[in-house]
Amino acid sequence: MAQQQKTSKALNISLWVAQVLLAASLIWAASLKLFQSTDKLAQMWPWVAQVPNALVKFTGLVDLLGGLGLILPGLLRIQPKLTYIAALCIVALMIAAGIFHISRGEASQIGANVAFAVLALFIAWGRYRAEP
């Protein structure tokens, strides 16, 4: 019993670390997409100059919601199952982003998408497992 409790505590800490890292990355990307000029963004992400500005802002909003969805339910202890749902949505977002980049011939650019998807899968698995 004590070993299981220790494992659960270690898993919970690992999940929180993953959630904070992924949320910080998503919120950082959201802030850039929502508040930086297209010219500045295009220097970092060339695709931004080739799609409608509304799409860039929309992806920024989705990133922001995903990042908040990873942190706020657990932090506020309100509907913690929303963290699991947010993590699954982030997996879907990363798959869509990967497909977008591959379709543009930017397969070498999907490393972050794959890493974020794996991290989000870990969070979804761990938080689903922890549901009472």
- If one counts the domains in the chain, the total is 1
Average pLDDT over residues 98-109: 92
The mean pLDDT of the chain is 93
Domain of residue 48: give its range: 2-130
Q: Give the pLDDT score at 109.
A: 87
Q: What is the pTM of this model?
A: 0.90
- pLDDT-derived band of residue 129, with 50, 70 and 90 as boundaries? confident
Average pLDDT over residues 115-124: 98
| Whether pLDDT at 4 is above 70 | no
Using alpha carbons, select from 132, 131, 98 the residue that is nearest to residue 114: 98
Q: Give the pLDDT score at 5.
A: 62
Average pLDDT over residues 117-121: 98
- Secondary structure (DSSP) of 82-115: HHHHHHHHHHHHHHHHHHHHHHTT-GGG-HHHHH
**Contact (CB, 8 A) for 126 and 11:** yes
Specify the higher pLDDT residue, 100 or 3: 100
What are the pLDDT digits (tens) for 85-96?
999 999 999 999
What are the pLDDT digits (tens) for 16-47?
999 999 999 999 999 999 999 999 999 999 99
